[in-house]
Amino acid sequence: MPTESDTHYDPSLGNKFIFVTGGVMSGLGKGITAASTGRLLKNAGFDVTAVKIDPYLNVDAGTMNPYQHGEVYVLEDGGEVDLDLGNYERFLDIDMTSDHNITTGKTYQHVIEKERAGDYLGKTVQIIPHITDDIKRRIREAAEGTDVCIIEVGGTVGDIEGMPYLEALRQFAHEEPEENVLFTHVTLVPYSKNGEQKTKPTQHSVKEVRSIGLQPDVIVGRCEDRLDPETKEKIALFCDIPTDAVFSNPDVEDVYHVPLMVEDEGLDQYVLEHFGLDDEALPEGERANEWREIVTSEKEGEVDIALVGKYDLEDAYMSIHESLKHAGFEVGSDVTVHWVAADDLSEGYDGQLEGMDGVIVPGGFGMRGSEGKIRAVQYARENGVPFLGLCLGFQMAVVEYARNVLGLEGAHSAEMEEDTPHPVIDILPEQYEVEDMGGTMRLGEHTTVIEPETLAYELYGDTSCSERHRHRYEVNPEYFDQFEDEPLTFSGTAGNRMEILELEDHPFFVGTQFHPEYTSRPGQPSPPFLGLVEAILEQTDAGTETDSETADADADAETEVTH
C-alpha cells in the first residue's frame, strides 16, 4: 500500500475494482489489456493485484489439454491455473495465489460442500444469492491489502457459463460506491474489405452487456491499427459513453509494448480520474520508467533456439517463450524460437537441429514424442550445443545419458515404459496410492540446495534456490551410485531428490526438475534461461573470433605467396 510519503494515497478510500469483460470473440487480449492497465497503475505508485475468472466447470486448469487451453501455469502455492495469471505475474511483478483464480468448479464445489454440511440451515441453494455471494466474497478476499484489483472475466459476454459471474458483478457494483468500480469492455473492431473500421460488432457486444445490467465505463477497441477519431466518436455515440472513454489497443510487435501503447492513449490517466486518484498518484515525471527502458532497449544480433516439444502451439509453452525474451532483454539480443516436433526426431535429426544455437526440451506428459526428445538431448550433448532441459526434459537427459553413456540398454522412465529394465526415472513414492489426477502432483515452490563451485551455483549465485514444480516422477534413487563419478552430475538436490543436473566440459548443459520459466520477469530473467543465452553468445563470439583469426592467417599466407 503506498504511504503518504510517496503517493499521498488515503487508504481509507478503500479498494478500487476494475472489471474487464470481452465481446465479439474470445482470445482478443483481455488479459494483456488488463495486465497493461495494472502495470501503469503500479508505475503510478499503487499496489495492484488481479483476479482471473474462468467460467469452465474444471476446479482448476491442471487436467486441461494444452492444445485446447494453452500452458498450465503453476503458482507459488501450487495452484494450477490459466496462462493469463502468468501474464499478470510478469506484468505486475507479483506472486499470486490460487485465490486469484476463480473457476465455476471451485465455486460450485465450495457451495455444495457448505450445503452438505448444513450451513445454509435448510434454505434452497440457488445461483442467486449463494453462487453470486461466493463469487463476490472471493473477489473481495483476493483484493484485500491492495489499492486496485483488476478482475478479468474469461470468455465472451453472452456465453451461458459466464452469466452468474456477470450477475455477481452487477450486484458488486450496486454494493460499492460508484467511484470505486470501473467496467472495461474489450471488443473487436475489424476492417471491411474497403478498409473501413467497423463498429457494429462493438455495438452489438455492448448491447449484450447492457441487457445484463452492466454499463461499460471504458471501451477498448482491438484493431490492427489505432482507432480513427470518427470510429471512436461512433462507438461513443452508440454505446453511450464519452468519446475520451474509447481507447485503441492496436497490434504491436510485442505484448510488452501494450502498456506503452495504452499509456500513449491516456487509459491510465482516465482510470485514475474515474477513481479520483489522479491527485494521489505519483507525478508523471516521478513514475517508474524501468518497464519502458527494458522492453524498448536496442538489440544486437539474433539467437536461434530449437524448442523440441509435442504441442505445435506457442501458448502451450508461453512461459518458456517469455523467459527467453527476458533473457534477450538482459543481454541485448533478439531470441528467436524455432518449433521442432519431437515426433519428427524419433528416427533421427533430419537436419532440423542443425544450425540451431541452442536446444530446449520442455516439460510434458505421456509417451508421445519422448524418443524424439531423447534424440534432441543426445544431439546437444554430442555436438556441444547449449542445452536446457525442463522437468520432463531434465528426465529425458537422465535417460539419454543412462542409455548412451552408462550403457544401460533399454533405460527409460517408468511413466513411458512400465516394463523398462532400467527405470532411471520412477514415480515419486508419495504418488503410489494417488488415484485422482487433479491437484495431486508435487506442485508449487520447493527449495533446492545447490552445490558450491558448480555451474548451478554460478547461475543462481547462491547455495539454494526456490522454484516451482509440477511432476509425478523423479530420478530413481537406486541409480544414484551409477552417476556418482560421471561428468553428468547432480548439482542441485532436495533431500533425496535430484533437482539440477549439469555436464562437465560442455558449453552449457543444464537440466532442472523444476520449472524456472514460471518465475522469470522482464528485468529479472530466470537464471537458467539467462545462462543458456549467455553461453550461446559466448560460443558465437568465440566462433567469430576463430573465423576472423583464420581469415587473417589466410590473408597472411596469400601475401607471402604473392611476394
Annotation: binding site = 26-32, 67, 84, 152, 159-161, 198-203, 234, 252, 364, 392-395, 415, 472
Amino acid at 176: E
**Antiparallel, parallel or unpaired: β 358-361 and 387-390:** parallel
Tell me phi and psi for residue 487, to 5 degrees.
-60, -30
Cis peptide bond prior to 528, omega within 30° of 0: no
Amino acid at 286: E
- Burial bucket for residue 244 (CB in 10 Å: 0-12, 13-18, 19+): middle
CA-to-CA distance for 205 and 157, rounded, in angstroms?
7
User: Is 391 part of the annotated catalytic residue set?
Assistant: yes
Catalytic choice (167, 280, 517, 534): 517
User: Is 149 part of the annotated catalytic residue set?
Assistant: no
CA-to-CA distance for 196 and 199, rounded, in angstroms?
9
**Antiparallel, parallel or unpaired: β 80-81 and 422-427:** unpaired
Sign of the four-CA dihedral 384, 388, 392, 395: positive
Answer whether 19's CB lies under 8 Å from 239's CB. no
Answer whether 386's CB lies under 8 Å from 502's CB. no
Farthest CA pair distance, the chain: 106
Answer whether 180's CB lies under 8 Å from 275's CB. yes
CA-to-CA distance for 317 and 309, rounded, in angstroms?
9
Q: Which cell numbers in the block locate residue 329?
A: 532483454
CA-to-CA distance for 162 and 129, rounded, in angstroms?
16
Residue environment code for 31-69, b if the CB has 16+ CB neighbours within 10 A, otherwise e: bbbbbbbbbbbbbbbbbbbbbbbbbbebbbbbebebeeb
Angle, in degrees to the nearest 10, between helices 84-92 and 30-43: 20
Amino acid at 296: T
φ/ψ bin of 37: left (φ > 0), alpha (ψ from -120 to 50), beta (otherwise): alpha
Task: List the binding residues for UTP.
Answer: 26, 198-203, 234
Of the candidates 542, 492, 526, 530, the residue with the CA atom closest to the CA atom of residue 512: 492
The DSSP element (H or E) to which 512 belongs, if any, is: strand 509-512
Catalytic choice (391, 467, 469, 502): 391
Partners of 512 in beta bridges: 390, 500
- CA atoms within 13 Å, Cβ hemisphere of 226: 7
Q: Which cell numbers in the block locate residue 18?
A: 476494475
Task: List the binding residues for ATP.
Answer: 27-32, 84, 252
**Antiparallel, parallel or unpaired: β 48-54 and 101-103:** parallel
- Which residues have a catalytic role annotated? 391, 515, 517
